[in-house]
Structure formats: C-alpha cells, structure tokens
Structure 1
Amino acid sequence: MPTRHIQVPFAVIGGGLGGTAAAVTAARLGLRVVLTEPTDWLGGQLTSQGVPPDEHEWIDRQSISPSYSELRERIRDHYRREYPLTERARTTVALNPGAGFVSRLCAEPRVAHLAVREMTSPLEASGLLTVLTEHEPVSVDRDGERIVAVHLRDLRTGDEVVVHADVFADATELGDLLDLGGVAHVVGAESAGETGELHAPAVADPRDQQAVTWCAALELRPGESHVIDRPASYDRWRTSVPSFWPGPQLSWTDVHPITLERRERPLFEGTPEEAIDSDDLDLWHYRRILARRMMTDDWAGHDVTLMNWPQIDYWDAPLVGVTPDEQQLALRESRELTLSFIHWIQTEAPRADGGAGYPELAPRGDVMGTVDGLAKAVYVRESRRIRALFTVTEQHIGREMRGEGAGSAVFGDSVGIGFYRIDLHPSTAGRTYVDIDCFPFQIPLGALIPQDTVNLLAANKNIGSTHITNGAYRLHPVEWSIGEAAGALAVFCATSGRRPEDVHADPVLRADYQRLLSGRLGIALAWDDEIRTGGSRSAAVVTAR
C-alpha cells in the first residue's frame, strides 16, 4: 500500500486525556486537527488504562475547566439516561456510580470512553477533527528546530501514515516524540544538586521511575466460581519480597504511603455480601466503579471494582531508557503480576470471614474493552519530560519547602490550575513511596514549551516538571488542563502567526492568549488565595491511598 500523507495545522500524537483535550479544544476553536492513539480507545488513564479520576476536593464545587466538567457530567448523564438507577441515585447532583471513595466519580472505563467520543463525534463529523486510533508513532522528521512530520504505523494493517503539521503536540504516555525527534528531555530522577529540591535524591538516577500498574476489573458474583488459570510466573510473585516492602506482593500487606508504616488492608472488612451495602474503607470500596445498591431491585448486575492496588505495582524494571525488547518484557511481566494477584485472590487470599480465596470474583473484560478483564494498556505514572522554558520544582508547590501558609508560587504565565499531593509510587530504582503535601498550584505556560523545538508542545505528563513535581501534575484533571492549554495555544499561534516561545516571551501576546483561555474558554487561571495558601486534600482520599 502507498504511504498516506495528511497535512493539518495541528497534530496531536497520543489520545489520552491531555491529547483529547488538546484536540477537542483546538477543533472547537475552528482549527483542523489530527489526533492519533495506539489503542482503540481515547481517554488514556481514564479509559484504556482503567483508572477512575484522581481529583481534589473542589472538583465539583469550583469552576476550573468547563470542558473537563463537561466530560464528567457526560459520564454521569450516561448513567442517568441508560441505567436503572434508584430515584435517590438519579437525583444526586454529584452522582458517583461506583460509590468508590478514591474519587467523587468512580465509573466504568467503557462508559468514560463513550463520553469522550460524544465530545469528539460532532467535530469528526464536521471534518475539523480526524481521529486515527490504533496508530503509533515510529519516527520523526526534523528540519533544524522544527518538526516537519511524524511517521505513524497503522497497527491493524502495518501501513504507514505521515502527518505533516505546523504545530505538533506530544501527548503520548511515555513522551515518545521527545525520543524519536531528538528533543532534549529528562528521564527519571534529577539530583538535589540540580533542582535544589528537598526530596530529590543526592545523585540523579534515570532508572528511578515510578512503578506502572496493569489494572483490571473484577465483579462480585456470590455463589459462583470464576477462577482463572494459574499464571506461569505465579510462584515468582507469590514469594517475591522487595527490600523496601514489608511482605510478599501477593498478600494484603502494604505500607502507608505517607508514614511508611506496615499495614494490612483486606479486600473486604466483612463478608462479600455485606460489602454491597456498606461504605467500608477496604480495597473493594476503594475503586469500586459500579455499585449494585445504586440500581433498582430488578437490575441483574453486581458490584464491580477496579484493581489498582499497591500489590500490582510493577517496579522490577523501567519502561523508559531501555531497549524495545526490555520494554516489552517489562510490560509482559506487569500483566503477569496482575493475573497472578487475581489468581491468588481467588484461591489463596485470607478471607475476613474465615477460609481462603474468593472464587466468586470474576474478571470483567467488557468493562475494560478486553477479553481477560485487564486494561487495554498499562497505567503510566511517569514519562520522559521536556527540557522546558520553565520547570516546576518542589520549591514552587511543596508545603514543607515553602512554609505553612505560604501557598504555591504565583505564575504570571498561568494556563490553568490543579491540585494533588506529590504522590510518587515505589520506583524501579528500589525506592519506596515519596508522598509530600503541597499547595493547590498553577500550570505555567513555560512548562509546556521545549527549549530546543519551536513547534512542539508538551500535552501530557511530559511537561517541564521534575521527577518530584510530576507526582502532582500527572493526574486526570491536570493532564486535561495541560492538553486544553496546548490546544488553545496551537490555535492562538495559527491565527497570530507567532511561535509558542514568542507568546511566552511577550507580555502582550501572553495576555491575549490568557484572555482566550479565561474569557472564551472559561478556564480558571488562579486559585482563590484562601485555597491556594491553605488547601489540603480530603482526609478520605489521603487515607485511602
């Protein structure tokens, strides 16, 4: 087949939350956009990676990003329209279909994907947005400081598609364009000497990358048996005890992410039957994405929860800075760890009500868009990060470094706001949790713009953050806001004829761009001072992790 060429003003490579937000924002503002994604679902960590949104306590109470709020309401409205909710659930403004306590919106990844495609559908029909799912980037053409084309492989046919654009956004999960295009970037942890951060390691370590997790969905079917085959690597994970971990990975033992104290976290506090109507702070209710009690009595379904627990964090090997074969091995082992933990739960796990094993737990592939119940893609917490015009460090947002009541740094080039604790999971360098309190923060424009490439924008976890601050800027609503700002910037540059770095450097241009964000798009660029200087995550979410 001949190579297919596409020419557009704006190309977004990677269809996670950041990429989707960038593409939808630009297309709604009238720019023609191509959006590519290696899986067949858009939405990244919310959908193909199977992670309910990690959000802050103001997400339902303060206007932050109208388009992100729209996505959340589309998810809720799907349940109101299509599911037999009880009257109480249907009339709850902040409907939480799963009644999980990790988020105020625990919902099925499949439904989240439908909501995302509702947002893209009219744009695709108009011709402003072209979506290429199951396409991965394989190479990048550069001309000096510019990227001129990205070569994609159609994963269904093997055919090549070459996308030419005036502006590109790297919204891939691992910052693939940074590597393919020779864009200056950072991998792993910087040293304290380089960043001056209190919690950075003494020596830089590229292999210090947060664990990935291959999530899965489980349904509670009382009285039935759904035991999966014993994975070939089961004995390895059953006996594995990392030096920084208090017990085998296949156990209910883990550590509190803040205090690092050993703890036991059962799947159920009582019997599985009691869990249906309870609000226990156990693993089942942590990321439950479908609650039987939300439905009328004639509904035939059951509780479904999302496995994204410390026991299935894969920290044996990194995904970035390794050979393709090493990366594929790490991905296979991550899947095998999750399958091993499912088999252990079904057959050997101590039950709170006595005995061992929960054979009544069934993998729900349809919830994840797969056959085996595992997510389509691994959950990635850390990516390559650009050498940016500005890098956010712990000094800008960390509560300990800035001092109680000081609040986060105020950025004159803010393009959005966000909040999450600096939450670093155990790493592939053998480091345990690093969990640091921080203030609600802003997203600076300079963090989205590389130092050495004039027409590339970072639109995911690859912005100018450090290994430390990535732990706060990597979550769902922040990633969306990063992508949203990148999409609006592409439009602003197309209409003004200026480069991203020009907008950042010129106070007049920057103010015009910020008026586009805050005026036409309604995006909040600053927190109220009371929140910025004193906000802290809700106790329920802190305790849950």
Structure 2
Amino acid sequence: MKEMNADIVIIGGSTGGCAAALAAAKMGKRVIMTEETVWIGGQLTSQAVPPDEHPWIESFGCTRSYRQFRDGVRQYYRDHFPLTAEARATRHWNPGSANVSRISHEPRAALAVIEQMLAPYIHSGRLTVLTRTQPESARTDGDEVRSVTVRHLDTGDRMELTAPYYLDATECGDVLPLAGVEYVTGSESKQDTGEPHALDGPADPMDMQAFTYCFAMDYLEGEDHTIDKPRDYDFWNSYKADFWPDKQLSFAGVRPATLEPVTYGLFPGGGKFPLWTYRRVIDKNHFVPGTFPGDISIVNWPANDYWLGPIIDVSPEERQQHLEAAKQLSLSLLYWLQTEAPRPDGKQGYPGLRLRGDVTNSEDGLALYPYIRESRRIKAEFTVLEQHVSAACREDGRAAEFTDSVGVGCYRIDLHPSTALRHYIDISSLPFQIPLGSLLPIRVNNLLPACKNLGVTHITNGCYRLHPVEWNIGEAAGYLAAFSLERKVQPRQVRSDSTLLEDYQRLLTAEGIELAWPVIRAV
C-alpha cells in the first residue's frame, strides 16, 4: 500500500477543510487534503448551497480570507461575464439577487475562486489535493492518531496518510469513529445540557436534522423539459408528515419561528413569498441580454428536506437507502413542479422548468453531495450550549464571552425538521464567539475538528453550521495545527497556557480573524 506523509492531513475538502488547508499552507506546512467528490468546497460547491450569512457580513463578522473569497466571487463574474453597467459598478453586487444571501452565486463560481486561492500552494507542491478519496480506517496509539488509510472511489487503490496532525473536515465527522475519538450525535437531553430546547426525555442519538439534495433549474417559457417520472413519485406525491400542514410536494410551509402555516409561490407576484428568488444564483437581468436564457435558481426548499431517516451511524445499506430516497424526493419535487404545481392562471405545472445538471456537475442533475446540516460532534473540552448564545437566555443582551475565542459567527438557531419527525426549532441568537475549547477533543491530542463537528450541541449546531462560521472553524483549526507544530506543543496546551494562547490569538488577529464582536443586536 502506498504511503504519503505531510505535516498536516486534512480529511474532507469541505468549506472548513479548504479554509484549514489555506491557513496551514500559508504557515509553510506541507498539507494533504482529501475530498470524497470531484469538487472541493463542500456547502459552497458540491452541496450547491449559496452562502447563508448575517446582516453585517460586508463590513465585519467574518475572517479576512472569507471576505477575500466573497470578493473573488464578484471579481470572477466581472472578469468572465458581460455584466450590465449597473451590476459592474455596484460594489456589493449579488449575482443572483437572492432573498437568502447577499452573494448568491453558482457553485462552480465558488469552486473556481477556492481553487484560485489554493493554487499557489498546489503549484508549489506544498498542498496536495486528492479528490474522489474517502477515509476507510485509522491507526491509533493511545491518545494519538498515527495514520489514516483512504481509498480512491474509482480505482479502489488504498493509501496510508501520516502526519503529526489530522483534521476531520468531513461533512459527517467520518474520521471520529474510525480513530476512536469520543463524539455525540443527535439530540441531547435537557437533563444533560440544561438547554431550554433540548429533549425533555432521554437523549436521542438518531434524532438529527433533515438533509437535502439540492438542484439547480432555470425556466424557459413555452418549452417542455419535463423529466421522466421518478420511480418513487407516487409515494412522495401522497406523503404528508403529521406535523406538516399539507403534502410535502406542495407550496405549503410554516414560519419556522412560530410554526404558523404559510403558502409559498413559485415566481414573484401574487402576494406570496417567491421560492424562485429564495436561492436564485443567476439573475439574468444583471448580465448583457442574451448571456443567460433565464434565471438559475437552487432548489433547497422545505419540500425537499429529507427527514425519514439519518445517514450517520447506520449500516451502509441503510445509509444508501436514505440517500437514494432523498434523491427521489428532489426529483419528484421537480416533476411535480413541471406537471402538477398549481399556477396563478389556473393551469397546472411548469414544463419549462429545466434541470441544470451542468450547474452542479452531475449526471443525475442533483448536487454532487447532500446538504448536511448536522454532523457527528466531538466531545470537547468545552461545549457551546444554548445558554451561551440564545437571546432569551442572556440577560445582558450579549452572548457569552470566551477568553479563548478563535473567531466569531452570527446566525439564528435554525434547526430544520428532524429524523424523529420533530418540527423546526428557530429562535433568536446573539452574535457569538467560537471558543478554542470547542475545537479540542477531551482525549485525543492530534486530531482537530474543521467543519461542523466541533463541540456544540444539537441546538447550538443550528447557528454554528453556516458557511462563514464553518470557514472560520476550519481556518482556526489549520492555524492551530501549524502553530502547535512550530511551538512543539499540543493544542490543548495552547488553551491552558496563557502565554501560548495570547501568541496564538495574536497570530489569528494578524491573519485577519476577528475574535470579538462590537455591540449589536440579536438576529
């Protein structure tokens, strides 16, 4: 079996994994990063999810490199597309004019920018990226990880990766069970965490947020792009969860914060919230006429959230069953939109909706990887609880302050329906910090989380899982591993030694990572 060695091995080319690789390579370290799909970038690329961000993102509240990514996306369109004069002159231009994001853009644009940011280190040989590569096993010695064996998904070839430090940047925390790292899944008990919105009864490790196979589509009026009837369409066309106001294949939904039923519309007009512009990634009106035949919109809606079973810590057969069922749900939603969706003119269906598999780089037309909202989470030296960030729990109107902060984030505590068929949890949170303690496993010394697998709970994962926060988590982990190598100390020593902590935080600040928030309101 072939072996490869580096200073830092990053398993998973997620949004956080890419940020970690960028940080570690900047510090002069030799890095190997693996990725299961053909696209690095995670949420931003292979999952086709435009950035979910807070209201102040253009000014503060993210790392410098994340802002460079955002600036790079806008520059990518300016460099390669014929924009209108207005779009070209608008500093904070939004390619998709989306409701949900201030910089909604195509996943392949994100890929191009991330690859450009990493290019100097790939070209120099400092960073090696192995796509279509999945972790298979890990070799450990007491509290140390000695190697991770990965397998190429196309050839079946195996390779043993060795390094002083390992970062788990997979979407589901896949290295944790392989390396025997203590972790939790699902929903904690109120008895264990004291969180107001935790379960009243015992913890439920299999109660996890829904995941979603996103897809892209455009609309060509007068044309017929109806796909073949999906195999499971009859099931999904009749399915209705007990907690949902109507059939899943419908324009029905709820206001997450109040659970009040609402009815969406597809296109703008008619007084209903338009799903079309919700995650639109191309607004054709920003481009010279003829550049795009129509807008391009990403479908990541309540109607294609899959909650009938988890894909973490189940058998490979059950995992595959749920993944395939989720794909069938998304394809069924598209077919329903094309053939049965009610229209304002009294007709049914929009056959001009066209599945854009080229946008997601896939044969089946869906995203290369499901949008994962909840991962395995390390048992950490410090776990962020609802009491630390919830507006209702904080009398002074500020989230808990952490002296070991390694970054900041801000988003509502937003949990989608879960695999235990529990409804949304959506509550106001305060701009928060990312404590270093949440990046430190309670036992293992040389493995760090670099994605959504840090020390949070089912509840607080709801606000720590979004794009800029995940980027910050990965970046902080990359710098932490590099800093620990240079100082010849363990990451947990950085937290426990005030001088080391100050030096590490000074490094983060110098690299453009904000450690604290100004005084602002809840979201």
TM over 0.5: yes
CA contact (8 A) 1:389 1:450 kept: yes
Q: CA deviation at 1:63?
A: 5.9
Query: Corresponding residue for 2:206?
Result: 207
CA contact (8 A) 2:48 2:360 kept: yes
CA contact (8 A) 2:265 2:273 kept: no
Distance 2:57 2:292 in 1: 32
Query: Corresponding residue for 2:515?
Result: 525
Q: CA deviation at 1:280?
A: 7.8
Query: Corresponding residue for 1:131?
Result: 129
Query: Corresponding residue for 2:325?
Result: 333
Distance 2:214 2:290 in 1: 30
Give the SS at the match of 1:305: strand
Structure 1: stretches of 5+ with no match in the other structure: 272-278, 537-545
Residue pairs, 1:236-247, within 5 angstroms: 236-247=235-246
Q: CA deviation at 1:389?
A: 0.5
Query: Corresponding residue for 2:111?
Result: 113
The C-alpha deviation readout for 1:475-513, integer Å capped at 9, x for no partner, is 000000000000000110110000011111111111100
CA contact (8 A) 2:263 2:272 kept: no
- With normalisation by structure 1, the TM-score equals 0.94
Distance 1:424 1:299 in 2: 38
Residue pairs, 1:247-258, within 5 angstroms: 247-258=246-257
Q: CA deviation at 1:281?
A: 3.8
Residue pairs, 1:52-131, within 5 angstroms: 52-62=50-60, 64-131=62-129
Cα-Cα RMSD: 1.2
Give the SS at the match of 2:72: helix
Q: Do the aligned partners of residues 505 and 331 (structure 1) sit closer, same or farther apart at CA in structure 2, a change above 3 Å counting?
A: same
Query: Corresponding residue for 1:535?
Result: 522
Query: Corresponding residue for 1:409?
Result: 400
Query: Corresponding residue for 2:413?
Result: 422
The C-alpha deviation readout for 1:52-86, integer Å capped at 9, x for no partner, is 00000111012631100011111111100111110
The C-alpha deviation readout for 1:343-389, integer Å capped at 9, x for no partner, is 00000000123200000000111111113321000000000000001
CA contact (8 A) 1:137 1:153 kept: yes
**What amino acid sits opposite 2:204 in the alignment?**
D
**What amino acid sits opposite 2:410 in the alignment?**
F
Distance 1:319 1:326 in 2: 7
Residue pairs, 1:161-310, within 5 angstroms: 161-202=159-200, 203-270=202-269, 281-310=273-302
Distance 2:106 2:439 in 1: 31
Query: Corresponding residue for 1:382?
Result: 374
Q: CA deviation at 1:269?
A: 3.8
CA contact (8 A) 1:46 1:112 kept: yes
Residue identity (%): 49
Structure 2: stretches of 5+ with no match in the other structure: none
Q: Which of 155, 158, 166 is 2:156 aligned to?
A: 158
Residue pairs, 1:16-27, within 5 angstroms: 16-27=14-25
CA contact (8 A) 1:206 1:321 kept: no
CA contact (8 A) 2:106 2:281 kept: yes
**What amino acid sits opposite 2:297 in the alignment?**
T
CA contact (8 A) 1:364 1:372 kept: no
**What amino acid sits opposite 2:311 in the alignment?**
L
Q: CA deviation at 1:406?
A: 2.5
Distance 1:368 1:19 in 2: 20
**What amino acid sits opposite 1:515 in the alignment?**
R
User: Matched residue pairs, number?
Assistant: 522
Q: Which of 450, 464, 477 is 1:486 aligned to?
A: 477
- With normalisation by structure 2, the TM-score equals 0.98
Q: Which of 457, 468, 474 is 2:448 aligned to?
A: 457
Give the SS at the match of 1:11: strand
Q: CA deviation at 1:298?
A: 3.7
Q: CA deviation at 1:322?
A: 1.0
Q: Larger deviation: 231-240 or 56-65? A: 56-65
Query: Corresponding residue for 1:441?
Result: 432
**What amino acid sits opposite 1:535 in the alignment?**
A
Q: CA deviation at 1:300?
A: 4.4
Distance 2:307 2:263 in 1: 20
Distance 2:420 2:60 in 1: 39
CA contact (8 A) 1:368 1:376 kept: yes
Query: Corresponding residue for 1:275?
Result: none
Query: Corresponding residue for 2:357?
Result: 365
Give the SS at the match of 1:342: helix
Distance 1:414 1:230 in 2: 51
